[in-house]
Amino acid sequence: MGLDVGKKTIGIAIGDPSHSIASPHRILWRRKFASDMADLFAEMDDLSVGGLIVGWPLNMDGTTGPRCDSTRDFCYALMKLRDVPVILHDERLSTAAVERTMIQADLTRKTRHEKRDALAASWILQSAFDRIAFGFHEQDES
């Protein structure tokens, strides 16, 4: 399962059993952490999810900032509640790529707003699948 964690929403994407195709699933509108986790864990159980790929919101220059701190805190709190593998994956340009694609598809602003986070989660998950499938490059290891 891929997650795009924001302040107001969590975009959720799911992958196929072979870990090669990611699809947008839904948006979880955030309320309180405990109820958010109950909803997320129920979704994970229903879909037999074995791990999470979470968007890592690096700055464009590759440095971490407050958004990374927030995402890290979210992941630590989640893992305290459930022992689940979590991988942080670079999400730079995911929202921009998704937005550009939706504009090209001539979707209205309202529709783009409703779909953006789930599509960004799908982009993050697909990017992670592609990176795993095509292997890591030595220059990526930093």
Q: What is the pLDDT of residues 77-104, one digit of tens each?
A: 999 999 999 999 998 877 777 878 888 8
The token pair at 15 is 């992958």
Residue 9 has pLDDT above 80, yes or no: yes
Q: Which residue ranges form the domains of the chain, and what is each CATH number?
A: 2-136 (3.30.420.140)
Mean pLDDT across the chain, nearest whole number?
A: 89
- Give CA–CA dist 42/52, Å, rounded: 14
Q: Provide the percentage of residues in the chain whose pLDDT is more than 70.
A: 95
As a whole number, mean pLDDT of residues 128-140 equals 73
H-only helix segments in the chain? 33-47, 66-81, 94-104, 109-134
Residue 40 phi/psi, 5° resolution?
A: -65, -45
